Amino acid sequence: MGIKKWYVYMLFAVASFILSVIFMLWSVYYMSNAMVGTSFLTALAGFAFLASSIQALKITAYVYSVESGATTDERKES
Amino acid sequence: MKNLIILLKIVKRLIILVVFSTLIIEVFASALTGRLLNSLMRVFSLHLVGGDTLGNLLMIVASILALVTLITPSYWLYVITSVATFLARTPDTIWLSLVILGLVSLLVIDTYSTCVSRKKNVKASVKGSRVYYLVIFTVFAVTVVLITHLITLYLNLFTSFMTSVPATSPVRAFSLFLSDNPIGRVLLILVAVSVFVKLSLNLIDAVTYFVIPSSTLAKSELSTSVKYDVEIKYPFYTLMSLIFTLYMAPPLYYLLNYLTVRVLPWSSSFLGDFMRSSPYTTYLPTLAEILFFLVLWGLLSYVTRFFRGHINNKLVAVFVFLVVLFLIVTQFSSLDMNEFLSVVYFKYYKDFLVVGELLLQITGFVP
């Protein structure tokens, strides 16, 4: 199997990023309908999804560098 | 080495000069015509003539700050100057990018010059080719500029809709505060920036690992990423503080309310002109009441934390003291204890419900 582990984390990061964009657009829609409280709540949810997406991206980067670490270590020794 | 540091200092000042050129030219022009002294006198004497808006005053302060920034290339002053300018007039997008790029370059030069001057003290360094550093710097700069533009776009979208809230709606005062009042705007921007700073730091960290994958650093980061700053709570702490609040909050609320009613006429005469001139006059009592409840709960949470969530000598002593005080007061005054207590508790819960409903109305959860 050619699937690498960091693809899974990347998928999670992309999914939560899309969710965060959807939530932020919803919050603007609620604001245009003068539902300020609901809008702020939705914006909060959007930011939470954005934060989780970037945290997942960070973990992806760690896993990616651990997986590709063998080649760089060899390069360092040679 | 010394030449390099001097060169870096000159480069720093050149960057500041380029970014704040219009402001600095304005300072010199107004100083030559004598307008500066006049404006300064007005700022310091706090005598605001009708023609002076807050924006004009902020521009004067910002241009003087720009001159000080040029003399002492401190990035804190740089940030304060640019924020003051942004508050004074709506930021131009090109200038916004210029300011951010200038700040990024200033920080990079600062870090580099400290590294150069204290090379012996540097304990950890990442080895890599120069091209990598250039790539990371470009990604960093582009990310920061892009994120800032996205924030401004999003906030502008928000505030443009906020002003379209119908005038009869109770949400109007809240949205006016956030869109028109400088304090509200600063609060909104501060919240957005503090959220986005952490996010962009994490993003840049991730991108750095993708550009220079270092397995040992990643492994150590993954193994130490569990944070130990979990707050330990005593068992039944929440229940205990809830019961404590249910008993203690109403008398305290009654006492504080009594005192405020006594103090309020004095404070309203003091703040009278301000309160009459602001468009939020109808909402001020509600806001004051909400603030009142927040202060009360903060006080109570402090008290419960002081007692550490379990019954000890201090708590018993305070409780006995309160009971004795209450008995003495009821004995020497002609108060009916049952009636008095029912009034106290009824007032607290009635006000609590009223304020809760008003809060929901103001924030727009309830029509």
DSSP string, B226-292: ----PPP--TTHHHHHHHHHHHHHHHHHHHHHHHHHHHHHHHHHHHHHHHHHSTTGGGHHHHHHHHH
Q: Is B350 inside a domain boundary?
A: yes
Angle between helices B182-211 and B171-179 (to 10 degrees): 60
How large is the average pLDDT for residues B308-320? 70
Q: From the candidates A9, A62, A77, which should be mutated to test the interface with B, based on the most B CB atoms within 10 A?
A: A62
Distance CA A68, CA B318 (A): 64
On whether both B253 and B349 belong to a single domain, the answer is yes
* pLDDT, tens digit, 9 for 90 and up, residues B139-193: 777 877 887 788 778 877 777 777 666 666 666 767 777 777 667 777 777 787 7
Which one, of B349, B242, B249, lies nearest residue B296 by Cα?
B249
Residues 6+ apart with CB under 8 A from B13: B70, B73
Question: Which is higher by pLDDT, B173 or B348?
Answer: B348
On whether both B155 and B204 belong to a single domain, the answer is yes
Which of chain A's residues have a Cβ under 8 Å away from the Cβ of B214?
65, 69, 72
DSSP string, B341-352: HHHHHHHHHHHH
Is there a contact between A28 and B222 if contact means CB atoms under 8 Å apart? Answer: no
Name the residue of chain A whose CA is nearest to B214's CA: A65
On whether both B136 and B214 belong to a single domain, the answer is yes
Q: Is B65 exposed, middle or buried (0-12, 13-18, 19+ CB in 10 A)?
A: buried
- Nearest by CB to A61, from B158, B210, B363: name it: B210
On whether both B223 and B241 belong to a single domain, the answer is no
- Nearest by CB to B162, from A31, A64, A68: name it: A31
Q: Is A63 inside a domain boundary?
A: no
Number of domains in chain A: 1
Q: Is A59 inside a domain boundary?
A: no
Is there a contact between A34 and B219 if contact means CB atoms under 8 Å apart? Answer: no
Q: Is B110 inside a domain boundary?
A: no
Backbone angles phi, psi at B344, to 5 degrees: -60, -50
DSSP string, B290-347: HHHHHHHHHHHHHHHHHTTTS--HHHHHHHHHHHHHHHHHHHHS---HHHHHHHHHHH
Q: Is B121 inside a domain boundary?
A: no
* Structure-block tokens of residue A61: 């980067």
Is there a contact between B363 and A37 if contact means CB atoms under 8 Å apart? Answer: yes
* Structure confidence at residue B233 (pLDDT): 65
Residues 6+ apart with CB under 8 A from B59: B26, B85, B88, B89
* pLDDT, tens digit, 9 for 90 and up, residues B329-343: 777 777 677 777 888
On whether both B258 and B290 belong to a single domain, the answer is yes
pLDDT in tens, chain A (78 residues): 567 888 888 999 999 999 999 998 898 888 777 777 788 889 889 989 988 998 899 889 888 888 886 554 444 443
* Structure confidence at residue A45 (pLDDT): 92
Question: Residue B232 above 50 pLDDT?
Answer: yes
Where among B230, B250, B274 does a domain terminate? B230
On whether both B9 and B85 belong to a single domain, the answer is yes
Q: Is B120 inside a domain boundary?
A: no
On whether both B297 and B197 belong to a single domain, the answer is no
Q: From the candidates B159, B201, B214, which should be mutated to test the interface with A, based on the most A CB atoms within 10 A?
A: B214
**What's the gap in Å between the CA of A38 and the closest CA on chain B?**
6
Where among B173, B205, B230 does a domain terminate? B230
Neighbour-count burial for B252-261, b at 16+ CB within 10 Å, e otherwise: bbbeebeeee
On whether both B74 and B147 belong to a single domain, the answer is no
Mean pLDDT of chain B: 74
On whether both B220 and B241 belong to a single domain, the answer is no
Q: Is B103 inside a domain boundary?
A: no
Inter-residue contact B284 to B275 (CB < 8 Å): yes
Q: Is B106 inside a domain boundary?
A: no
Amino acid making up residue A20: S
Size of interface A-B (CB pairs under 8 A): 92
* Structure confidence at residue A53 (pLDDT): 93
Where among B71, B91, B111 does a domain terminate? B91
Which of chain A's residues have a Cβ under 8 Å away from the Cβ of B158?
28, 31, 39
How large is the average pLDDT for residues B282-300? 72
What sign does the CA torsion over B92, B76, B113, B147 have? Answer: negative
* Structure confidence at residue B340 (pLDDT): 78
The residue count of chain A comes to 78
* pLDDT, tens digit, 9 for 90 and up, residues B24-80: 887 777 777 776 666 666 665 555 554 456 667 777 778 888 888 888 888 788 888
Question: Residue B302 above 80 pLDDT?
Answer: no
The answer to whether B314 faces chain A, any CB pair under 8 Å, is no
Q: Is A60 inside a domain boundary?
A: no
Q: Is A61 inside a domain boundary?
A: no
The answer to whether B175 faces chain A, any CB pair under 8 Å, is yes
Residue whose entry in the numeric block shows the structure tokens 């909050």? B249
* Structure confidence at residue B45 (pLDDT): 57
Name the residue of chain B whose CA is nearest to A44's CA: B195
Amino acid making up residue B53: T
Domain of residue A18 covers 7-52
* Structure confidence at residue A75 (pLDDT): 47
Number of domains in chain B: 3
Interface of B with A in 192-211 (CB under 8 A): 195, 198-199, 202-203, 205-210
Which of chain A's residues have a Cβ under 8 Å away from the Cβ of B219?
66, 69
* Structure confidence at residue B308 (pLDDT): 59
* Structure-block tokens of residue B44: 């310091």
**pTM of the predicted structure, to 2 decimals:** 0.57
Q: Is B24 inside a domain boundary?
A: yes
Which one, of B148, B48, B56, lies nearest residue B98 by Cα?
B148
* Structure confidence at residue A12 (pLDDT): 93
* Structure-block tokens of residue A58: 């960070």
Question: Interface pTM (ipTM) of the complex?
Answer: 0.78
The answer to whether A32 faces chain B, any CB pair under 8 Å, is yes
Q: From the candidates B147, B215, B219, B283, which should be mutated to test the interface with A, based on the most A CB atoms within 10 A?
A: B215
On whether both B198 and B250 belong to a single domain, the answer is no
The answer to whether A53 faces chain B, any CB pair under 8 Å, is no
Domain of residue B148 covers 126-230
* Structure confidence at residue B293 (pLDDT): 79
Q: Is B96 inside a domain boundary?
A: no
On whether both B226 and B242 belong to a single domain, the answer is no
On whether both B249 and B359 belong to a single domain, the answer is yes
